[in-house]
Amino acid sequence: MRLFGILLGILYCGLLQAQSSYPVSTIPVSLVSNSNAVVREDVIDVEIKSFDLAEVKIKHVVTVFNKLGDSEIINYIHFSPAKKIRKISAVVYDASGTEIKKFRKKDFSEVSAVSSGGIYSDSKIMYTSYVANSYPYTFEFEVEYTTQNTAFIPRWRPMNSFHVSVENSTYKIRNPRQIPYDFKTYNFEKFNINSPVHTDTEFLIEAQNIPAIVYEFYHPGILQLIPRSVFALKKINLFQNSTQLNDWDDFAKWHNESLLYGRNTLPSKTVQEISYLVQDTESTLEKVRRIYEYVQQKTRYISVQIGIGGWQPSSAEEVDRLSYGDCKGLTNYTKALLESQGIPSYYTIVYRDHSIHDIDTDIVTLQGNHAILTVPIEGEDYFLECTSTLAPLGFVGEGTDNRTVVIITPEGGKIAKTRKYTTEENLTQTQASVTLKPDGSISAQVTVKTHGYPYGNLLELDRASEKEIQVYYRNKWGYLHHLKLNQINHQNDKYTIQYHQELHLESSNYGLFNGEDLIFSPNVFNRYESAPVRYTDRQHPVRIMRGYTFVDSVDFIIPEGYQVSHIPQEISLNTPFGSYQTRYTLSNNTLVYHRTFITHEGDFQPNQYHDLREFYREVVKNDSNKIVLTKTN
């Protein structure tokens, strides 16, 4: 009887254990703090069977505390003819760790892996959906697959976002064939993570209790802050295309011989058309400009994820026939058009991102998420964004400026830097003549000239409707009451790469009355209204990616019967983060307001954030200064 009771107790405990996993109560308090989600388990187990075959097992368990943490679950996997899923499942647990929902393989859906703007793909996604009824909950995802694409060994990146902590993470690569490999780690020392255990046959990373990284303004980028590691075989396979990658010359050779070779053929009719297009000029620069504009007018961007893992461009002939392509296809097409006129150009790999993300040249592996074209002209490299129908030749924007790239040349991989716009080049000049009326309303003639990187932010205005342009200015100058735009003229000078805006506007109640005094702000058109938030204990370094220069000159016509009785004190601020100056000139009934505001790019220590914030607080305060007009009779 006693034995039966013991067995019953063991059975009960076993059942209880089977029904309860990952209770929230067991998460260390230090990991809950500042977290939208906690990664309970992050396991990646890879066995390299050969240079062209790997078996991968992934287990990812996340406890989600709120809606912001929902995006941290993994509920999908990409697959293709070269990547076959063996097993896949998911389980949802409530706060106590009790299973509330289970997804088997048959519960997963399959869709084509076509991104926004895409047309077709030979990659698919297997996924399942879960909408939480309450928080917290835990989502467990497991998948096993085989892949022939050993160019893409999963990387170790236990967290992908701010406000996500990690309880346990294991990354294990078994390499029984002793295929040579390389690896690189990032930010291990910041989290007291031990260096990987690495031998000819094994690579292992183990980490526990990684606290959440708190989001802070002017952070240097999530990749610069999180712990991560890249593992790369030196002999890889990508859809039956194998190569040895010992250096960037090998990388370029592989691109030229396997990905780009034979894809530059054009129809003779197109070659004749291009020859006619450039026949009346000897200037290489002008020929490149015309051919680039030809591509912009003829083609449009779509996403194409077929071929060798989405890395091989569509042929130039196909793009010419269809008049569309992705970044790879359009870049290759432009390259072929230039080659038809004897102009050399080079396919170029880059990371396109709003933050500046460089190709890591220390480790040779498939990197980058975008292709552009490098055209050397008279000793200067021109970087062409072939997916843009708006950018002029010579403009580097849209997230590809000032970053390390790999240029695929016949001689090998050339490491280069795309164009960096200086603080002086990133110039916005505003000139205005404002008539201030006795009722406080204003009418103004305004001219804004934009140069450098900010030029790219205005290109969409070039094809915007009148309604969209009206909305743009009402958002830009939301503090101008009852804004009425009478005349709008935009000029996009693609040769000098400047954008000119000219407009006439009216606004009521701009000046406010205090008794008989009329009070108004001299900064009408370029007002800085808020300073960065305050942090009592700043954690991250401060990064300002680009410097900008703003120069404003505004003439105010003082209404008859009034005189200026108060002008704000002129100010001059100079800091490591930028400078700010104001100046006033009064002559007869005209008051001229001069403002120069410059921000500097740079990397700064966390303890300098307070000084940065104080600088911007001064800018905000002085941008809101007031001028007082008093009646003369």
> Pick from 302, 365, 291: which is nearest to 328 by CA?
302
* Residue 481 in this model has a pLDDT that exceeds 70: yes
Q: Final residue of a domain: which of 417, 437, 453?
A: 417
Partnered with residue 583 across adjacent β-strands are: 594
Q: Answer yes or no: are the C-beta atoms of 505 and 483 closer than 8 Å.
A: yes
Q: Report the DSSP pairing between strands 542-544 and 602-604.
A: antiparallel
- How far apart, in whole angstroms, are the C-alpha atoms of residue 127 and residue 604? 42
Cβ-in-10-Å burial (0-12, 13-18, 19+) of 340 comes to buried
- How far apart, in whole angstroms, are the C-alpha atoms of residue 238 and residue 251? 13
For tokens 């050399």, what's the residue?
344
pLDDT at site 112: 75
Domain CATH code at residue 369: 3.10.620.30
Alpha carbons within 13 angstroms on the beta-carbon side of residue 515 total: 5
Q: For 17-21, 134-138, 164-168, 462-466, which range has the lowest pLDDT when averaged over its residues?
A: 17-21
pLDDT at site 395: 95
Domains in the chain: how many in total? 3
360 — pLDDT class (breaks 50, 70, 90): very high
What string of DSSP letters covers 136-186?
A: SEEEEEEEEEEES-TT-PPPB-S--STTEEEEEEEEEEE-TT---EEEEEE
Kindly state whether residues 63 and 145 are assigned to the same domain.
yes
Helices within 511-629 (DSSP H only): 609-623
What 8-state DSSP symbol labels residue 80? B
pLDDT at site 121: 53
**In a domain? residue 1:** no
Domain CATH code at residue 566: 2.60.120.1130
What string of DSSP letters covers 464-520?
A: --HHHHHHHHHHHTTTSTT-EEEEEEEEEETTTTEEEEEEEEEESS-SEEETTEEEE
Element containing residue 207 per DSSP (H, E): strand 202-210
Q: Report the DSSP pairing between strands 99-103 and 118-121.
A: unpaired
> Pick from 374, 503, 392, 381: which is nearest to 456 by CA?
392
Kindly state whether residues 144 and 27 are assigned to the same domain.
yes
Q: Final residue of a domain: which of 201, 218, 236?
A: 236
> Pick from 420, 428, 423, 426: which is nearest to 452 by CA?
426
113 — pLDDT class (breaks 50, 70, 90): low
> Region 418-430: what's the mean pLDDT?
97
4 — pLDDT class (breaks 50, 70, 90): very low
Partnered with residue 165 across adjacent β-strands are: 38
**In a domain? residue 2:** no
- How far apart, in whole angstroms, are the C-alpha atoms of residue 580 and residue 617? 12
Kindly state whether residues 171 and 194 are assigned to the same domain.
yes
**In a domain? residue 153:** yes
Q: Within its chain, how far is the Cα of 540 from the centroid? A: 19
* Residue 305 in this model has a pLDDT that exceeds 90: no
Q: What is the dihedral of CA 561, 566, 570, 573, to 10 degrees?
A: -120
Kindly state whether residues 66 and 98 are assigned to the same domain.
yes
Q: What is the pLDDT of residues 168-202, one digit of tens each?
A: 999 999 999 999 999 999 999 999 999 999 999 99
Kindly state whether residues 222 and 257 are assigned to the same domain.
no
Kindly state whether residues 208 and 285 are assigned to the same domain.
no
Q: Answer yes or no: are the C-beta atoms of 119 and 306 closer than 8 Å.
A: no
The contacts found for 352-358 with CB under 8 angstroms, 24 or more apart, are: 352/398, 352/399, 352/400, 353/399, 354/399, 355/221, 355/545, 356/221, 356/401, 356/402, 356/403, 356/545, 357/221, 357/223, 357/403, 358/403, 358/404
pLDDT at site 114: 56
Element containing residue 316 per DSSP (H, E): helix 316-322
Kindly state whether residues 374 and 458 are assigned to the same domain.
no
Say what the pTM is: 0.90
Kindly state whether residues 81 and 218 are assigned to the same domain.
yes
Domain CATH code at residue 127: 2.60.40.3140
Neighbours of 13 (CB within 10 A): 10
Q: Final residue of a domain: which of 366, 389, 417?
A: 417
> Pick from 143, 152, 151, 160: which is nearest to 228 by CA?
160
Range of the domain at 543: 427-631
**In a domain? residue 11:** no
Q: What is the pLDDT of residues 201-228, one digit of tens each?
A: 999 999 999 999 999 999 999 999 999 9
> Pick from 390, 380, 288, 286: which is nearest to 334 by CA?
288
Kindly state whether residues 458 and 493 are assigned to the same domain.
yes
- How far apart, in whole angstroms, are the C-alpha atoms of residue 567 and residue 558? 13
**In a domain? residue 7:** no
Q: Enumerate helices (H) and strands (E) in the chain, giving the number of each.
A: 9, 38
Alpha carbons within 13 angstroms on the beta-carbon side of residue 16 total: 8
Q: Report the DSSP pairing between strands 37-50 and 164-174.
A: parallel
pLDDT at site 16: 40
* Residue 6 in this model has a pLDDT that exceeds 80: no
pLDDT at site 18: 44
**In a domain? residue 334:** yes
Kindly state whether residues 437 and 560 are assigned to the same domain.
yes
**In a domain? residue 10:** no
Kindly state whether residues 411 and 363 are assigned to the same domain.
yes
Q: Within its chain, how far is the Cα of 253 from the centroid? A: 29
pLDDT at site 117: 46
> In 3-state terms, what secondary structure has residue 105?
helix
Kindly state whether residues 154 and 188 are assigned to the same domain.
yes
- Tokens at residue 263, please? 């894809």
**In a domain? residue 5:** no
